[in-house]
Structure 1
Amino acid sequence: DLRKDTDAGRSRLLHRLRLFGVRWGEPAASRGSTGTFRETWRLRWEPELSVRVAEAGVWGTTVLGAATARAEADAIAARGLAEVTGLAEQCLLAGLPDALPTVMRVLADRAALDTDVGHLAQALPALVRALRYGDVRGTDAVALAGVATGLAERVFVGLPPACTALDADAAQEMRGHLDAVHTALGLLGDSPAPGHGTLRTRWQAVLRTLSGRDTVPGVIRGRAVRLLLDGGALVPEEAARLMGLVLSPGTTPADAAAWIEGFLGGGSGGGMLLVHDERLRALVDAWLTGVPAEAFTDVLPLLRRTFSAYDPGVRRTLGELVRRGPGTPGRTAVAGPGAPGLDTGRADAVLPVVRLLLGRDEEDGAVARTGP
């Protein structure tokens, strides 16, 4: 528990040892808690670790001094931006305030020179995690927040051009970057963006741009629409309209299948979205049944990859709903205008059991039924 001084000291020691290769403890998944104030470690001492402790003496005579010197040297020698951001995260975890200025200076220099949007997108999640750890451990992470905001702004500017004219493999990789940036910005919250409101509104504008560009691969456009829908920036009716446009006869089957994969695939809850939204399910069903035979073989791998990520129960429910067809009684649907009213006769039939469970007599039950 990092809120306790003793446990926080243990955590800093283990993280410092890991910086120079003494892996006495290995982080493990925490059970029963997902907060950043709790860590779980698996300790295992190996005989060769004694040799590594002796070798680490070249960096300093204390664990704190050696870890600080090693972190500064690693930051200067790092080749990629992601390495430096990961090192900044480790410095916060290990409680190395003296090493942070050097690491932050190198990080700012690398971020300013790196023009690869993929590298910037990979670096942002580590920075955001470092900010969260800094909040929990009481570390001053103001400089880190400034770098994270600047990095996010550069991602906003560079992402739309970087998503243009990508092949299938590059599009899948960029989709992963899209998800990583979206998750990171969700942790940052409503942090202010320079001259553009908040980071959240800026990111939503970028997603809208991606969702409407024909030169962007379908898997990225579909994913952008899904992220907007999940974030509440897009109403379900608009999402259904966009899906209807993509699944129209004017779109090639391969591009439409890629859009569906981005919108519904990746184990992101797309299966449950289809289960509960009959309009989207009907659009996908109508498009799939209309795919020409010569194109069906090409889109089948994409569809298989999309639907195979769903849980078995979700796939079984979808199959049952498709088998019944639209408008069949017993289908899963959300109640809305025009839905049948309450059947008071069936509701009254359970009252004796309810009174028995609640320990009420007949008179109390009659009062409950006739009261307001």
Structure 2
Amino acid sequence: MSVHILGIRHHGPGSARNVKAFLEELQPDIVLVEGPPEADALLQWAGHENLQPPVAILAYQPESPQKACFYPFAAFSPEWQAILYARRQRIHVRFMDLPLAHVFGMEHEATVDENNQQPPENTDSGSAPVFVVRRDPISHLAEAAGYEDGERWWEHMFEYRQQQTQIFEAVNDAMQALREELPRKEDHLEQLREAWMRKCIRLAEKEMFQRIAVICGAWHAPALNNMPKQKEDNDLLKSLPKAKVECTWIPWTYSRLSYESGYGAGIPSPGWYEHIWEHPADDGTRWMALIAKLFREQQKDTSVAHVMEAVRLANALASLRHYSRPGLEELNEATLSVLCNGENILMQLIRDELIVRNRMGTVPIEVPKPPLQTDIEKLQKKLRMPQTADFKDYLLDLRKDTDLERSIFLHRLQLLEIRWGRRQEVSGKGTFKEQWRLQWDPSFSIDVIEKGSWGNTVAEATASFVISSANNTSTLQQVCRMLESAIPAELPAVVEVLIHRINNLAAASGDVLQLMEVIPSLVNISRYGNVRKTDAALVSGIAESMIGRICISLPAACTAVADDAALALLELFYAMNDAINLLQDPALTGEWQATLLIISRAAQSASMIGGYATRLLFDGKIITGDALVKAFSVAMSVANPPAQAAAWLEGFLKGSGTLLLLDEELWNMVHNWVSQLENDFFIQVLPLLRRTFSNFTAPERKKLGDKVKSAGAGNGKKSGSTTVGIDENRASKGIPVVMQILGWGDSKILADGA
């Protein structure tokens, strides 16, 4: 009976190759792998044609799915190769780490104790501080070997090495020396984990397995080789708390395997590791060829000579640094110098597409999963919307049945707060098009499991979740947003509940501004009446009643308003006006315009709001001609404080300066008003005027500036009309040509004056 401890790096191509070769030579009758024992039942799926790494075991608590953890595997993970070997050879394979039932149980107890614990008194015991090592222990070996980085040392010593003689003995000796020499703080969880691993090894021995292979992290290898007494481990593992745990397979991505994702056992370059796993003897030629292919796809010229020169440079750098072969650092330096011409932006492209790679694994649909996750995957397959690590854009035509079903599915996921798809702006004003950008993240699996408590299908879970959220929400605007999303999600029962909820909240609300905020949402809802076969009358009644209440209360809300509040109110006016115009209801439009007329004529209304109300009435052709000139003259009168007049002008000109360019009379009024301001008053209103004109487009500002210059060049003379000289003789010569182009007659006859 023999036990073989193989200390490895969790995601290392060299370690994976060493484990595979060692197992093929040893031919064990059981393989023990560091991992959660609760997932033993999932190991039967290893080797399935549709279980393609990168994948991960998701372990979670059913009562609280957010308390979860992942165990990722890539093709170059030693644990994955060990599991595949065992499945191919039809021998026993088990996980042997501390069960997550105990880990979650201890975390729960620690949380409870922390909440119940009183703050400690500030006492000074006078004891000396305990030295705690926070460095990666591997960095000490790297420093002794002359390396600045522990990762580079490990790669060159183990991941790139071709001769693997006694490699695991060397790893064990190195870790044993580090554990003996470096002082470390007692880690209770680590002690429990190693005690449980030893317990699993003893159990395998008791079951009379003759050749036992143990795959574990390199740091744990000495603790498993040097077995303490069984009683010591049993005492340590007594009375551990428990929690219920469930496990499943989920797809994973290389980006989530990297350090940047926050994964504790992450690696810096998953794409590069996959390359050296598949091509262990590559001297850089294949890698540079991949870079050249990538550049050519990006329309960047890259020749074979570039590739050859970059490979030579990488190998020369490796020789100068006394490496047996170039690593990723040497290849990157050569690439930057030869292929990128020193441009770091191209290196970012290489990093994203090759060094990390946005690759995503697959999981068989038959793998046991929560019902909601199964329903989502069935819909993804039916609608031909696969999960991808990279983003993918979909332009949906809602007049087509498949695209309409896709839209309904995505809207329901959004209501469930599963952010797989994000709406994008789409050109055109039609309601039959939607633009979506989809990108799957493995963490969505936790969200799916969490929302599974609301129902077993997407429709059922969405309906239950939204109804519960609406009943627990007291904000009218939030419920309106739910309704706006529920109608395109085609959830009639939910829509009915939300409308009833909006009615109740609107009746209880006395805040006219809050009512104005939700009107655009309600009007947008009616836009789906045609394409989605939804009755827009579901919300028309409530919208009409709310608009009526707004029109009654709004004039009073526009009095005694500060400048900052007036700016915010202008945006509500703008949205409200657009919404009412979109409804195209003459009665509502007339009611709204009557309210604007009251606001524009009320002396107590905030100047900025009064000016904007006048502008909206002018746009609606309610105030024109002499009435507009009179309103403008009263507001811009020298009897008014300059700041008040400037605020009125800012409201009136909001959004466009074209009115000043086209209406000469209004232009002269503004010009005369500014010209008559005294110096002190001009300095006072200048910031307001600058803010007003800064909102105009660049061409408008340029034309207004030219107009001011031309007025100044006229010796200060201001007239109500502009005279433009026309040379009739020259103009008459162009008429025949224009008429001939238009095909309206004989140019010769026209030239004779006929």
TM-score, with normalisation over the residues of structure 2? Answer: 0.45
CA distance in 2, matches of 1:351, 1:245: 47
Provide, for residues 269-294 of structure 1, a one-character-per-residue CA deviation record: whole Å limited to 9, x for no partner: 2x111111111111111111122222
In proportion to residue count, which structure has more strand? 2
**Structure 1's 6 and 371: CA in aligned 2 closer, same or farther, altered over 3 A?**
farther
How many aligned residue pairs are there?
355
Residues 1:225 and 2:614 are matched in the alignment: yes
Identify the residue that residue 325 of structure 1 maps to in structure 2.
711
Q: For 2:689, which of 279, 303, 311 is the aligned residue?
A: 303
Structure 1 letter corresponding to 2:449: A
Of residues 712, 715, 731, the one that matches 1:347 is 731
1:173 counterpart SS class: helix
- Partners of 1:148 and 1:345 in 2: how far apart? 62
Aligned-pair CA distance for 1:190: 1.5
Aligned match of 1:214: 603
User: SS in structure 1 opposite 2:436?
Assistant: strand
Q: Does structure 2 conserve the Cα–Cα contact (< 8 Å) formed by 1:85 and 1:107?
A: yes
| Aligned with 1:365 (options 747, 750, 754) | 747
SS at match of 1:294: helix
Distance 1:106 1:212 in 2: 37
| Equivalent residue number for residue 568 of structure 2 | 173
Cα distance change of structure 1 residues 182 and 297 upon mapping to structure 2, 3 Å threshold: same
Query: Equivalent residue of 2:730, what SS?
Result: helix
From the superposition, tell whether residues 143 and 353 of structure 1 become closer, same or farther in structure 2 (CA, over 3 Å). Answer: closer
SS at match of 1:137: coil
User: Deviations for 1:35-93, whole angstroms, at most 9, x for unmatched residues?
Assistant: 11111111111111122112211111111111111111121111211111111111112
CA RMSD of aligned residues (A): 2.5
Name the CA distance, whole Å, in 2 between partners of 1:207 and 1:244.
19
Find the counterpart in structure 1 of residue 539 from structure 2.
Answer: 144
The residue aligned with 1:195 is: none
Q: How much has 1:344 moved relative to structure 2? A: 4.4
Residues 122-174 of structure 1, C-alpha deviation per residue, up to 9 Å, x if partnerless? 01110000111233311123231100001100100010011111111122222
Moved runs in structure 1, 4+ residues, more than 6 A? 333-336, 339-342
Query: Which residue in the other structure is 1:247 paired with?
Result: 636
| Matched-pair contact (CA < 8 Å) for 1:229–1:236 | no
Deviations 1:230-289 (A, max 9, x none): 112221432222111111111110110000000012xx22x1111111111111111111
Instruction: Choose between structure 1 and 2: higher helix proportion.
Output: 1
| SS state at 2:437 partner | strand
Q: Which residue of 1 aligns with 2:665?
A: 279
- Does structure 1 retain, via aligned residues, the 8 Å contact 2:466–2:482? yes
Whether the aligned pair in 1 keeps the contact of 2:664 and 2:721 (CA below 8 Å) is no
- Going from structure 1 to structure 2, the CA distance change for 1:237 and 1:343 (only over 3 Å counts) comes to farther
1:176 CA displacement: 1.6
Q: Does 1:259 align with 2:648?
A: yes
Which deviates the most, 162-171 or 120-129?
162-171
The offset of 1:115, in angstroms, is: 0.5
Offset of residue 295 of structure 1: 2.1
Residue of structure 1 in register with 2:72 after alignment: none
d(CA) in 2 for partners of 1:182 and 1:98? 31
Give the letter for the 2:432 counterpart. Answer: F
Paired letter, 1:172 = L
Is the Cα–Cα contact under 8 Å of residues 740 and 746 in structure 2 kept in the other structure? no
* CA distance in structure 2 between the partners assigned to 1:335 and 1:296 by the alignment: 27
Distance in 1 of aligned mates of 2:419 and 2:566: 37
Map 1:47-66 to 2 at 5 A: 47-66=442-461
Q: What's the TM-score, normalizing by structure 1?
A: 0.89
Structure 1, unaligned runs of 5 or more: 192-197
| Partners of 1:289 and 1:303 in 2: CA distance | 13
Change (3 A) 1:320 1:342: closer
**CA–CA separation in structure 1 for the residues paired with 2:446 and 2:572:** 40
- Partner of 1:296, secondary structure, is helix
**More divergent stretch after superposition (245-254 vs 345-354):** 345-354
SS in 2 for 1:94: coil
Output the amino acid matched with 1:203.
W
CA–CA separation in structure 1 for the residues paired with 2:608 and 2:659: 17
Say yes or no: does 1:16 pair with 2:408: no
Displacement of 1:12 in angstroms is 0.6
Q: What is residue 194 of structure 1 aligned with on the other side?
A: none
Q: How much does 1:179 deviate?
A: 1.2
User: Which residue does 1:204 correspond to in 2?
Assistant: 593
In 2, Cα distance between equivalents of 1:287 and 1:149: 42
Matched residue, 2:699:
313
Q: Quick one: which amino acid aligns to residue 600 of structure 2?
A: S
Which AA in structure 2 matches 1:153? G
Partners in 2 of 1:359 and 1:216 — Cα distance? 58
Partners of 1:356 and 1:154 in 2: CA distance? 61
Determine whether 1:293 maps to 2:682: no
